[in-house]
Structure 1
Amino acid sequence: MRWEGNRESSNVEDARDGGGGGGGFGLGGRSIGIGTIVIALIGGAIFGINPLTILGVISGGGGPAPSQQQAPAHAPPAGDRQAKFVSTVLADTEDVWAKLFTAGGATYHAPKLVLFRGSIGTGCGAGQAAMGPFYCPGDQKVYIDLSFYDVLQKKLGAPGEFAQAYVIAHEVGHHVQDELGITRKVDSLRSRQSQAQNNAMSVRVELQADCFAGVWAHHSDQGKRWLDPGDIESAMNAAAKIGDDALQSASGRSVVPESFTHGSSAQRQRWFNNGYTTGSVKACDTFSSNSL
């Protein structure tokens, strides 16, 4: 992926030098993430379920999350290569989605992306690095502890910069859902559904974010021609490695489809590919699809 020298986003906040804090999870919103990767592999928790979700945040109840003391965010240092990579990918998601929204007669409001270490206060409660990257609709920010990329490569077997870009694009895909009003519609249904129905709904939400990541990849490469041979395959490999069935199998547990909240490896690959091959937001309607 030939990303160096491209525009960097000004919407990246660096909270790694004092951001975050302790405390339990607040109930002020719900976060949407690529999956509880570290917890799934190391902690032996319920696979694919965000810790905020486990605590009931997925229902969207409660008031604002308790405030936590943390240092003011600032731009990343100029010489931080990983931060430059994240900023460059985020900038391209801004360009792609702004054009697609404009073509549809709407305005895209870009999210902020926050770099943190360990833990951080968010509009959805206290975020933890162990949750993996996540998006918080409560403050419209994407959160990522960059140590996740080591987990992605060394523990999950998903190397490559475009695999890392896919992670960012997936979380931005959740922001796109928020912009389109999909998040609010889903939230309005959750309190009236069983846990099994909520799990199934969550799968459709996550697969659509994968598809939106594919839509970004399609238009991004058309505009910049910055992908190298094998880049799309690395993203597809990452999608496979973080499928619910793959994570459950890697832990030595039985695969339980009823517990899936992010989708199987095959489903995640299929929907990313749907978005990538068509470049169409309409191709990402996971909610109307009879077959995921």
Structure 2
Amino acid sequence: MEWKGRRGSRNIEDRRSAGVGRGGAVGGVGVIAVLLIGYFLGIDVTPLLDGGALPDQGGELTEADREAGEFVSVTLADTEEVWGHVFPEQVGRRYTPPVLVLYKGATQSPCGGASGATGPFYCPADRKVYLDTAFFTTMARQLGAKGDFAAAYVVAHEVAHHVQNEIGILGKANRVRQQSSQEDSNAISVRIELQADCLSGIWAREAEARFGTLDRGDLEEAVNAARQIGDDTLQRNAGRRPMPHTFTHGTSEQRARWFLRGYKSGDMAQCDTFAARNL
């Protein structure tokens, strides 16, 4: 993915220089094993860390931090241009982009604390995406999801939740979830997440066509990332037997297939996971 020297977004709120680091007593491997469960199973695992503490990730920004911030800014700008075109064309309304909060270690949001125990997320209460770029390292080293376009997919997926919020789907789905059993709530969550994957595929298609910045193998990086963060794969990698009733994001096969559905069609109507009989 060619991104260096390209336009960045103005909708970045960088909180990293005021990183909230809290000392933790869990060793590196132990922390990673615990946090990976929380990242993808929708569980805040902070209490599992010694004393409720998080690993200390505060301090000065490194060159790698600055480069990651620039990468996210360029990727966010691409989502703004893509959805600024696609949304009015297919929805008939003007698209208002989200703000993306970059943090290092931990920060606060109206949806609760953001940390390594929560992973990247979109908060509809303030219409912001929260991202610690250290997550990209976790993807590459621990999950086997390497490459800059795999990282771009993560940004596009969270922005896709904002697109759902703009349409009104996210609010309706979350209201139904609040009145449902845990198993039914999880099933609705899967549909939300697979739709976001499909919308991410539309973004990838448009980015390729509009900017010509994708390199050979970039699409495969995104599809591989979708597979590596499927609930079944993550549960197996955590040493657990996959339990479909606990899934909140979809299987590896589902996530990759819905991403490709969006990429191949470019049609938001094809991303209606709530009307699909079979996911």
**TM-score, normalised relative to structure 2:** 0.86
C-alpha separation between the residues in 2 aligned to 1:190 and 1:3? 38
Q: For residue 42 of structure 1, what is the amino acid of its counterpart?
A: V
Superposition map of 1:68-79 within 5 A: none
Structure 2 contact 19–105 (Cα < 8 Å) conserved: no
2:79 maps to which residue?
93
Q: For residue 155 of structure 1, what is the amino acid of its counterpart?
A: Q
2:6 maps to which residue?
6
C-alpha separation between the residues in 2 aligned to 1:87 and 1:219? 18
Q: For residue 14 of structure 1, what is the amino acid of its counterpart?
A: D
Gaps of 5+ in 1: 23-37, 56-76
Q: For residue 198 of structure 1, what is the amino acid of its counterpart?
A: S
Q: For residue 250 of structure 1, what is the amino acid of its counterpart?
A: N
Q: CA deviation at 1:48?
A: 3.1
Q: For residue 40 of structure 2, what is the amino acid of its counterpart?
A: G
Q: Residue 268 of structure 1: which of 241, 247, 255 is its match?
A: 255
1:150 maps to which residue?
137
1:209 maps to which residue?
196
Q: Residue 111 of structure 2: which of 124, 128, 148 is its match?
A: 124
1:71 maps to which residue?
none
**For 1:41-68, what per-residue CA distance to the aligned partner results, in whole angstroms no more than 9, with x for missing partners?**
435757733236999xxxxxxxxxxxxx
C-alpha separation between the residues in 1 aligned to 2:39 and 2:110? 24
Q: Residue 239 of structure 2: which of 227, 252, 274 is its match?
A: 252
Q: For residue 93 of structure 1, what is the amino acid of its counterpart?
A: T
C-alpha separation between the residues in 1 aligned to 2:44 and 2:124? 13
Question: Secondary structure, in 3 states, of the residue corresponding to 1:80?
Answer: helix
Superposition map of 1:1-292 within 5 A: 1-20=1-20, 41-43=33-35, 45=37, 48-51=40-43, 80-103=66-89, 104-292=91-279
Note closer, same or farther for the CA distance 1:242–1:175 as it changes in structure 2 (3 Å cut).
Answer: same
Alignment coverage as a number of residue pairs? 256
Of structures 1 and 2, the one with the larger relative CO (CA 8 A, separation 6+) is 1
Structure 1 contact 47–244 (Cα < 8 Å) conserved: no
Is the helix fraction higher in 1 or 2? 2
Structure 1 contact 170–212 (Cα < 8 Å) conserved: yes
**For 1:9-62, what per-residue CA distance to the aligned partner results, in whole angstroms no more than 9, with x for missing partners?**
01111101225588xxxxxxxxxxxxxxx988435757733236999xxxxxxx
Structure 1 contact 40–47 (Cα < 8 Å) conserved: no
Gaps of 5+ in 2: 23-29, 48-62
Structure 1 contact 153–159 (Cα < 8 Å) conserved: yes
Q: For residue 81 of structure 2, what is the amino acid of its counterpart?
A: D
Identity %: 46
C-alpha separation between the residues in 2 aligned to 1:108 and 1:53? 35
Q: CA deviation at 1:83?
A: 1.1
User: Pairwise CA RMSD of aligned residues?
Assistant: 2.4
Q: For residue 83 of structure 1, what is the amino acid of its counterpart?
A: G
C-alpha separation between the residues in 1 aligned to 2:241 and 2:269? 35
**For 1:72-100, what per-residue CA distance to the aligned partner results, in whole angstroms no more than 9, with x for missing partners?**
xxxxx9x9221111000000100010111
C-alpha separation between the residues in 2 aligned to 1:224 and 1:243? 29
Deviates more, 1:87-96 or 1:192-201: 192-201
Question: Secondary structure, in 3 states, of the residue corresponding to 1:142?
Answer: strand
**For 1:208-242, what per-residue CA distance to the aligned partner results, in whole angstroms no more than 9, with x for missing partners?**
01111101001111101111111000001100110
